A and B are shown apart, each in its own frame.
Chain A
Amino acid sequence: MKREKSHDKINILLVDDHEINNYIHTKVIRKALSGSNIEIVADLNGKQAINHLYHFMDNDPNSFPDYIFLDLNMPEMNGWQFLDEYTRRKLGAVKDSKVFITTSSVFSEDVDKSHSYACVKDYITKPLTIERVQSIITA
């Protein structure tokens, strides 16, 4: 079922330790979904993101992300550890968020591992493109 762009707010969480990447991804997503009501928040590691999700859950459930673009290689809590915590704490039950691994890694081991998480919808090798974002959101 396609999302009605102009009516529903689309909540997006970016998790990447490089602020430049979060900047680029924000720009790319806004260009890809121009005209849509989008709310984008960015965190610099998995731990921040988990805390952010709890904040949404407790204070603003409507802003709980619909889409999570998750980097793998991050300090403090990497992408895999985030996914383990996300699964262990059953955060997918709050809202059926779609997680997209967004990484520079081209290792097949990482691709295969990502398939073992039910919440992960796809594995995107950077750079994130306008076309890719459009295909994801309109799917």
Chain B
Amino acid sequence: MKRYESLLAVNNARAKYYPSFHQRVTANTRRLLKPDADQKLITKLTADIQFLAYKFSAVFDSSKSYFIILDRKMNIVDYNKASLRLVKKLFGKKMVIGEHILNFLHPGSAKTILSGCDKALNGETVSLERSIACLDNKTSWWSFEFSPAMDLKENITGLVFNAIDITKRKANEAKVLSQRKILAKISQIQSHEIRGPVCTIMGLMSLIKESDYEPNREYLLLLETTADILNENIREIVGLANDEQNNTAIKHT
């Protein structure tokens, strides 16, 4: 019977994500707990539970997200396979059901984890993004979500800690940001280095227009000088843009 009681506890924590599964398992397990349950019924319901557990695992363990279910004391109730592998890889520890979550995560993230857990246990869903330094000294970016886990009577029985690796997304965002900065820089340079000589040419043309398009030698020499400056500035900007693009490509490889 103890085995089924334990199953009920885990089942309650999973209720948030799999309500239909939760209802069926709860109903069937409670029938098993009755003293007059016969062997035939036990066999049938055990098979039923095993089938449902298989379906549950297929969803829970095939997810690319990392799920850890905690009780109200922040002890581990359950986790999916992805979480087990991840904690082992990042922090070199194997998670154990019943132990406190902080025993298995990076000490530097304790404050964030505790704060998120507290809020979830008070009924609030918390989402945040953080960078984490791992065993190999590499930094990875993560999206964390702390959600309250409720039973059918909507009592908060614990919480679900969900983590998603967003390192690639963050790298892409940084790349886009870098490209925007390059564009802004080029735009700024163009305003002065390109538009400047163009404005000078326009100013000279306005003077030539004033003389009924009969320019004196001085205006034409200044036009020539300004056109040379413009040409040189364009070459420099194209060179700068190429250098920046190459630097960005190197940073992101």
Interchain CB contact under 8 A, B200 and A21: yes
A27-B207, A126-B202, A126-B203 given as contacts; is B192 within 8 A of A20 (CB)? Answer: no
Interchain CB contact under 8 A, B191 and A104: yes
Mask of B198-210 contacts with A, CB within 8 angstroms, 1/0: 1110111011001
Interchain CB contact under 8 A, B203 and A21: yes
The residues of A that contact B198 with a CB separation of less than 8 Å are: 104
Mask of A14-48 contacts with B, CB within 8 angstroms, 1/0: 00001011011101100100000000000000000
Q: In chain A between 95 and 139, which residues have their CB closer than 8 angstroms to a CB of chain B?
A: 104-107, 125-130
B195 touches A (CB below 8 Å) = yes
Interface size on B, residues (CB 8 A): 17
Interchain CB contact under 8 A, B192 and A104: yes
B7 touches A (CB below 8 Å) = no
Interchain CB contact under 8 A, B207 and A105: no
The residues of B that contact A25 with a CB separation of less than 8 Å are: 203
The residues of A that contact B134 with a CB separation of less than 8 Å are: none
Interchain CB contact under 8 A, B222 and A20: yes
The residues of A that contact B222 with a CB separation of less than 8 Å are: 20, 23-24
The residues of B that contact A23 with a CB separation of less than 8 Å are: 222
A18-B200, A104-B196, A126-B199 given as contacts; is B207 within 8 A of A24 (CB)? Answer: yes
> Smallest CB–CB gap between A139 and chain B, Å?
21
B226 touches A (CB below 8 Å) = yes
Interchain CB contact under 8 A, A28 and B207: yes
Residue pairs across A and B with CB atoms within 8 Å: the count is: 54
Interchain CB contact under 8 A, A73 and B202: no
Interchain CB contact under 8 A, B203 and A128: yes
Complex CA–CA separation, A11 to B132 (angstroms) = 64
Contact of B203 among A73, A107, A127 (CB under 8 A): A127
> Smallest CB–CB gap between B156 and chain A, Å?
50
Give the residue name and chain of the A residue nearest to B207 (CB). A27
A20-B222, A20-B226, A73-B192 given as contacts; is B206 within 8 A of A104 (CB)? Answer: no
Interchain CB contact under 8 A, B210 and A127: no
B225 touches A (CB below 8 Å) = yes
> Smallest CB–CB gap between B110 and chain A, Å?
43
Give the residue name and chain of the B residue nearest to A17 (CB). B196
Give the residue name and chain of the B residue nearest to A128 (CB). B203
The residues of A that contact B188 with a CB separation of less than 8 Å are: 107
The residues of A that contact B191 with a CB separation of less than 8 Å are: 104-107
A20-B225, A23-B222, A130-B210 given as contacts; is B195 within 8 A of A28 (CB)? Answer: no
Interchain CB contact under 8 A, B195 and A106: yes
Mask of B165-198 contacts with A, CB within 8 angstroms, 1/0: 0000000000000000000000010011001101
Complex CA–CA separation, A24 to B209 (angstroms) = 13
A104-B192, A105-B192, A107-B191 given as contacts; is B202 within 8 A of A127 (CB)? Answer: yes
Give the residue name and chain of the A residue nearest to B202 (CB). A127
The residues of A that contact B225 with a CB separation of less than 8 Å are: 20
A20-B222, A105-B192 given as contacts; is B200 within 8 A of A130 (CB)? Answer: no
The 9 closest A-B pairs by CB, nearest first: A126-B199, A127-B203, A24-B203, A104-B195, A127-B202, A104-B196, A104-B199, A73-B192, A105-B191
Interface CB pairs A-B, < 8 A, 20: A20-B200, A20-B204, A21-B200, A23-B222, A24-B203, A24-B204, A25-B203, A27-B207, A28-B203, A31-B207, A104-B191, A104-B196, A104-B199, A105-B195, A106-B191, A126-B195, A126-B202, A126-B203, A127-B200, A127-B203
